[in-house]
């Protein structure tokens, strides 16, 4: 049996492309989703990839869901913490709810996703952790104090885990996508996208989910064992860090 990979938010957008890429590379993939049953069922029908429903912001739900995945598919060797949300607003309009929802999902959700699989990876002396951060965690973004803070925090998680896991054969790396053509972009007003964002991307276009999935598949591979604590940026030359 192949290695098992868990992808949170793995039935839509960037996560969908990651799930498919890992399956193509021979992984047994479990994809989680939070709410869209219809899309998840269509995804499973099209790909044969099992989906599991839980809210990554909930530790107990994550731990129980992960235990179910391991009972079904075997120990998880690769975990891709991809699930994320935006609640964009200029800071003076940002509510405590906007802040909390994003922190609970994008930052605490990453803890909740990795923490239950970490002991098994340590025991088996193998693991690949990949966290989907963001260009906006690297550079900050007007309207995204909450999101940028969580995505910067995700880099702190990865860099710390890399040091803790290295001797146990576990790597932890981040991918920082730039602006990618997914449903998440639909929350951005069209005028802002065309007049402000696109002119800032030297590639002159949004990225495609598959272009992020290739980065993840590489980091998840056996051959990437000495790449640990790194950040791969895929942003069409919009930002260098
Ligand atoms: N830079 C500078 N000024 C900006 C700006 C920007 N990027 N965006 C808006 N402004 C200005 C507006 O022009 C406006 O100025 P005036 O008052 O002088 O006209 C002012 O800020 C405030 O605008 P509004 O009161 O209209 O603000 P709003 O409440 O309608 O919404 C916003 C503002 C939510 C930030 C909206 O502009 C927006 O959605 N921007 C996009 C934010 C963004 O890039 N999000 C990334 C989403 S994709 C993602 O997150 C994935 C990833 O990892 C990359």
195 within a domain of the structure (yes/no) = no
Known catalytic membership, residue 179:
no
239 within a domain of the structure (yes/no) = no
65 within a domain of the structure (yes/no) = yes
Q: What is the DSSP annotation of 131-152?
A: EE--HHHHH--TT-HHHHHHHH
Q: What is the CATH number of the domain that holds 144?
A: 3.40.50.720
Using a 6 Å cutoff on CB, does residue 88 contact ligand 1? yes
36 within a domain of the structure (yes/no) = yes
67 within a domain of the structure (yes/no) = yes
pTM of this structure: 0.96
Residue-range definition of the domain harbouring residue 227: 4-181+208-233
Using a 6 Å cutoff on CB, does residue 154 contact ligand 1? no
Asked if residues 213 and 175 have their Cβ atoms less than 8 Å apart, the reply is no
Maximum Cα interatomic distance, the chain, rounded to a whole number of Å: 52
Number of structural domains (the chain) is 1
**127-162, pLDDT tens digit by residue?**
999 999 999 999 999 999 999 999 999 999 999 999
**193-225, pLDDT tens digit by residue?**
999 999 999 999 999 999 999 999 999 999 999
199 within a domain of the structure (yes/no) = no
174 within a domain of the structure (yes/no) = yes
Q: Could you say which of 33, 52, 147, 179 is catalytic?
A: 147
């Amino acid at each position: 049996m192949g290695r098992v990979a868990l992808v949170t938010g793995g039935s839509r957008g960037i996560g969908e492309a990651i799930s498919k890429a890992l399956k193509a590379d021979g992984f047994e993939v479990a994809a989680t989703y939070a709410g869209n049953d219809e899309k998840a069922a269509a995804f499973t029908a099209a790909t044969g990839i099992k989906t599991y429903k839980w809210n990554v912001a909930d530790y107990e739900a994550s731990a129980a869901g992960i235990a179910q995945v391991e009972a079904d598919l075997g120990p998880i060797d690769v975990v891709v913490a991809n699930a994320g949300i935006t609640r964009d607003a200029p800071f003076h309009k940002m509510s405590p709810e906007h802040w909390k929802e994003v922190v609970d999902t994008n930052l605490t959700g990453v803890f909740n996703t990795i923490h239950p699989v970490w002991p098994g990876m340590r025991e088996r002396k193998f693991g690949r952790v990949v966290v989907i951060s963001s260009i906006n965690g690297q550079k900050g973004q007007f309207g995204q104090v909450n999101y940028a803070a969580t995505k910067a925090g995700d880099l702190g998680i990865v860099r710390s885990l890399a040091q803790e896991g290295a001797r146990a054969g576990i790597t932890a790396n981040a991918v920082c996508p730039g602006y990618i053509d997914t449903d998440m972009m639909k929350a951005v007003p069209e005028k802002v996208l065309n007049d402000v964002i696109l002119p800032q991307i030297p590639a002159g276009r949004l990225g495609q989910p598959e272009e992020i999935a290739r980065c993840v598949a590489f980091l998840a591979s056996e051959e990437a064992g000495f790449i640990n604590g790194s950040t791969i940026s895929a942003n069409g030359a919009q930002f260098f860090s």
